[in-house]
Structure 1
Amino acid sequence: MKIRTNRLMLISERMEREIEQQNIPGAVIAVGKGLSILYLESFGYAENQNGIVRVMNKDTLFDLASLTKVTATLPSVLYLIDNGQIRLNDPVSLFIDEFGSSAKGTVTIRHLLTHSAGLPPHQPYHRLYSSPDAIRRAIRFEGTGAEPGLRTEYSDVHFSLLGEIVAAVSGQSLDVFSKRHIFSALGMSKTMFCPPESEFHRIAATENSKVGVVHDEDADALGGVAGHAGLFSTVQDLITYVWMWLGENPLLSESVRRLAVQNHTTTLNGNRGLGWVCRYDPYDHTGDLWPETTVGHTGFTGTSLAFDPVSKLWMIILTNDVHYGREKRAMIRLRALLHNIVGSAIETE
């Protein structure tokens, strides 16, 4: 596969138009193939409200929102699998006592990773409970709305529980474990939960000019660390992370990486890998032209990451889409359009 890099300039044209029309505040976008970075540009503003204007740059830190699931929680779980500490088919009840009931006793780690455990899609825990411990207890006691393994339904609860499992097995909270075994090992020095105030000037503002505080209300109520949201990172660190998935760093075994990007829900209503969204799932954001073996994920704040493990094509889009309000959210459609531009640049050799 070759990429006609001149086609990628259409990304710049589109983004400049979107920012001029105030559809989105700002963005950093990278496209590459293997270790080659074919396109890397920043656009617009990291903050542009209430008389405060900060220009976006390539070193800006972003609230990753649900990219946390596949950037912190997923690799931590896969690390434990690689090291013989857990299995995909282990029942969750081995690690979380509240799952010992008959209704939830058959829920496995695989079910959580593929969003097929039958747990509810969303609950406003931050409004229902007054402390992190009360929220964690409520999540552990959450009931199943459907029998595990019958259908996929995207749920933050699944990955919140996976974060709890990482902590139960390792004896370390998710932020400590992922920093020690994933981010530090890969050299991702600007990837973190709960960024210190010294980094706030480098962070893209989200809704209501939030800077350095996680946008997701439930993750915020949990102290900024959760399996479903809370991570901050830069485009360069995420490029390093994608390179690991393409085999450029032996942090995770080839076997577990190959397993994670396979479709594990072919007989259900969605196409889910372990954590990853596969092509043609309802949550697939990669448009119409990317290879069938592409996987990816998105984040509510306006972030996304996609890669094809076969051709090694990848794309990272980091925006602060919600800075102008969560109602607008232009990135939902724009992501697919930008991926179509990249897809149109593909030439088979």
Structure 2
Amino acid sequence: MTRLRVATRDDLAAVQDLFWECWTTSYAVFAPAEALARLPREDADALWSDALGQGETLVAVGGSDEVLGVVRFTAEDDRLAVHSLYVAPAAQGRGIGGLLLDAADAAAGEVSGSDLWVFTHNASARAFYEARGWRPDGGTRVDDRFGMPETHLTRTAPGHAARVLVGRGVCVCESENPPAGAVVGVWTPGREEVRAAGVRDTAGAPMTGDTVHDLASVTKLVTTCAVMSLVSAGRLDLDSPVSRHLAWSGPDPTVRELLQHRAGLLPWQPLHHVARRREDVLSLVPGLPRGGGTGEAFAYSDLSFITLGAVVEAVTGLGLDAAIRSMVTEPLGIGLHFRPGPGAVDAGDDAGPADAGHDASPTDTDDDDVAESALDEGWEERMIATGEPYPVHLTPATDLPPVPRRPGPVRGTVHDANAFHAMGGVSGHAGLFGSVPDLLQLGRALLDTRHGLWSEAVVAEFTTAGPDPLQGLGFRLRPLGEERAGGPRIAWHPGFTGIALGVRIGAEPAAVAMATNRHLHDGAPVPTDRLWERVLQAELLAEEAHR
């Protein structure tokens, strides 16, 4: 059985022997003999005699207390520096190197990241580190003692990005407050991590990786996935007019223009002030004032995705929740769902949760597992009162009772007032709930199409810019590193509650997800886009800059 302990001077001879065996045996696989000959045994012993008293050194020992591995490290200036990591050739492949690195991480505590140097041509060591999330940052050197090129590797500390999001470093003024809690998840072919920080509710319950969140407009991305499934199956033509699928009056945008936010529909209106049932909302939207002509200009629009959800229903003959379940979440085994928990279906008689074709049954998710998304509904109430950021063209209907105000904090029901009060919690623009692991799983399904729900060609079309360089079909786009044709980019989407999901395209595949409760305080919330930039900087952008 392998155990770890702090090295002492009594271990010096064993550590020297282990290092020399690695130098002459393991390194002989990639290093020329003349390079290895630059370091004679007496110099190697002297190096370790000096090093054993510098920083911290841990050894892995076997059942007879024989030294099987050693790691030497220091933690200062918010960074972990790994100076040496060696495992005896006969003990390699047994996970000892990983145990030693994990122990160094634990001993360092909360640091922002880690650094080490590895011989550039040591392919097995580089593969080991890469599988554990280390990446080259562009640094190189040649130490005269060894005469071989070395590459600098760095790694963002597990959980660092989540901790950053709940600190005041994300704020730019005193009036802003950081999110109360955050979860950040990253997946690459060699790495999957989900880390949480802060709290999920006003009672102070800790945020966890499995906490369920109101996904807000990330719902639009899942609606987009349902459209991709229909397009891949030949059931929906992107260039078909909306009037082919729905009763529609006035200028007639195409499905493509809905996805591009170029349908000419207004960004937002308080539909729930004049309609409390789905069919009333869908008949109301075409008659509203237009923000522009179809196809003329980009204007991000909730109304476009309310309409798109209705198109999915018309094509499938299913309610949107059932359509998404059958075409996206159930085949992929993803736990995304509308209206979790018993409280989420008790929306009042005028919320219409039992509209025909929609499943109003509660899920198995307990409200205790759901993050509170806001203190109350005050944000949209202020939008209506001030006309900011969007002018309000609707006045409350006189034949409807006043919109009931939900007691705060908002938990287990969709925060978006139109989705909650007028759409029964199910809409193409908002309403889904899920965890960061659920979002990462969806990201993986966008990157690997072997599941057959949508084709690789369709994903490529949806994640390619159209008339607007930062907008695909349903996806937002952001270049990574130097912008160039065919270069790496993030296809992503944010959510108002502080959520985002993105996938890296054009380079090594990666999925990144973020969930926060940025509205769970009285101050000004930090914008979701700024939080997302901090996550990308921690997880992908620094690495991309040195590709």
Q: Is residue 202 of structure 1 aligned with residue 369 of structure 2?
A: yes
Alpha carbons of 1:206 and 1:16: their partners in 2 closer, same or farther (altered >3 Å)?
Answer: closer
SS in 2 for 1:151: coil
Structure number, greater radius of gyration: 2
SS in 2 for 1:251: coil
Q: Of 220, 238, 263, which residue of structure 2 is paired with 1:69? A: 220
Once residues 168 and 272 of structure 2 are traced to their aligned partners in structure 1, the CA distance between those partners, rounded to angstroms, is 33
Q: Is residue 169 of structure 1 aligned with residue 315 of structure 2?
A: yes
Alpha carbons of 1:182 and 1:176: their partners in 2 closer, same or farther (altered >3 Å)?
Answer: same
Instruction: Give the match for residue 237 of structure 1.
Output: 438
Alpha carbons of 1:134 and 1:5: their partners in 2 closer, same or farther (altered >3 Å)?
Answer: farther
SS in 1 for 2:165: helix
After TM superposition, the structure 1 = structure 2 runs for residues 104-123 of structure 1, keeping only pairs within 5 Å, are: 104-105=251-252, 107-123=253-269
CA contact (8 A) 2:462 2:474 kept: yes
Instruction: Give the match for residue 543 of structure 2.
Output: 345
Higher mean alpha-carbon deviation, 22-31 vs 324-333, is at: 324-333
Q: Is residue 30 of structure 1 aligned with residue 185 of structure 2?
A: yes
TM-score by length of 1: 0.87
Instruction: Give the match for residue 272 of structure 2.
Output: 126
CA contact (8 A) 1:161 1:227 kept: yes
Instruction: Give the match for residue 102 of structure 2.
Output: none
After TM superposition, the structure 1 = structure 2 runs for residues 322-341 of structure 1, keeping only pairs within 5 Å, are: 322-325=519-522, 327-341=524-538
SS in 2 for 1:345: helix
Deviation at 1:12, TM superposition (A): 4.8
SS in 1 for 2:184: strand
Instruction: Give the match for residue 250 of structure 1.
Output: 452
CA contact (8 A) 1:287 1:337 kept: no
CA contact (8 A) 1:46 1:204 kept: yes
- Give deviations 1:200-237, integer Å, cap 9, x for gaps: 11100011211111000000021100000000011111
Alpha carbons of 1:328 and 1:348: their partners in 2 closer, same or farther (altered >3 Å)?
Answer: closer
Q: Of 490, 494, 519, which residue of structure 2 is paired with 1:294? A: 490
1:322 alignment partner AA: H
Instruction: Give the match for residue 229 of structure 2.
Output: 79
Higher relative contact order (CA 8 A, sep 6+): 1
Alpha carbons of 1:299 and 1:53: their partners in 2 closer, same or farther (altered >3 Å)?
Answer: same
Once residues 20 and 82 of structure 1 are traced to their aligned partners in structure 2, the CA distance between those partners, rounded to angstroms, is 41
Deviation at 1:25, TM superposition (A): 0.9
1:7 alignment partner AA: T
Deviation at 1:140, TM superposition (A): 3.7
CA contact (8 A) 1:140 1:161 kept: no
Alpha carbons of 1:201 and 1:288: their partners in 2 closer, same or farther (altered >3 Å)?
Answer: farther
- Give deviations 1:276-300, integer Å, cap 9, x for gaps: 01127xxxxx899996422111000
SS in 2 for 1:297: strand
Deviation at 1:19, TM superposition (A): 9.7
SS in 2 for 1:305: strand
Alpha carbons of 1:171 and 1:24: their partners in 2 closer, same or farther (altered >3 Å)?
Answer: same
Alpha carbons of 1:288 and 1:226: their partners in 2 closer, same or farther (altered >3 Å)?
Answer: farther
Q: Is residue 265 of structure 1 aligned with residue 419 of structure 2?
A: no
Once residues 144 and 56 of structure 1 are traced to their aligned partners in structure 2, the CA distance between those partners, rounded to angstroms, is 42
Instruction: Give the match for residue 40 of structure 1.
Output: 194
- Give deviations 1:266-321, integer Å, cap 9, x for gaps: 4xxx52111001127xxxxx899996422111000000111112221331111111
Aligned Cα root-mean-square deviation (Å)? 2.6
Q: Of 287, 291, 315, which residue of structure 2 is paired with 1:141? A: 287
- Give deviations 1:73-124, integer Å, cap 9, x for gaps: 101111111111111100111011224x4xx13x100000000111111111
Alpha carbons of 1:275 and 1:61: their partners in 2 closer, same or farther (altered >3 Å)?
Answer: same
Higher mean alpha-carbon deviation, 244-253 vs 315-324, is at: 244-253
Q: Of 411, 433, 437, which residue of structure 2 is paired with 1:211? A: 411
Alpha carbons of 1:150 and 1:329: their partners in 2 closer, same or farther (altered >3 Å)?
Answer: same
Higher mean alpha-carbon deviation, 195-204 vs 86-95, is at: 195-204
Q: Is residue 317 of structure 1 aligned with residue 514 of structure 2?
A: yes
Q: Structure 2: 5+ residue runs without aligned partners?
A: 1-129, 136-152, 172-176, 343-364, 376-408
Q: Structure 1: 5+ residue runs without aligned partners?
A: 281-285
CA contact (8 A) 1:120 1:144 kept: yes
CA contact (8 A) 2:495 2:528 kept: no
CA contact (8 A) 2:268 2:301 kept: yes
- Give deviations 1:33-78, integer Å, cap 9, x for gaps: 24631x3211111102xxx22111111100000000002x101111
Give the total of aligned pairs. 331
Alpha carbons of 1:67 and 1:288: their partners in 2 closer, same or farther (altered >3 Å)?
Answer: farther
Once residues 163 and 242 of structure 1 are traced to their aligned partners in structure 2, the CA distance between those partners, rounded to angstroms, is 21
CA contact (8 A) 1:76 1:182 kept: yes
Alpha carbons of 1:150 and 1:13: their partners in 2 closer, same or farther (altered >3 Å)?
Answer: same
1:274 alignment partner AA: L
Deviation at 1:11, TM superposition (A): 2.0
Of all paired residues, the percent bearing the same amino acid is 27
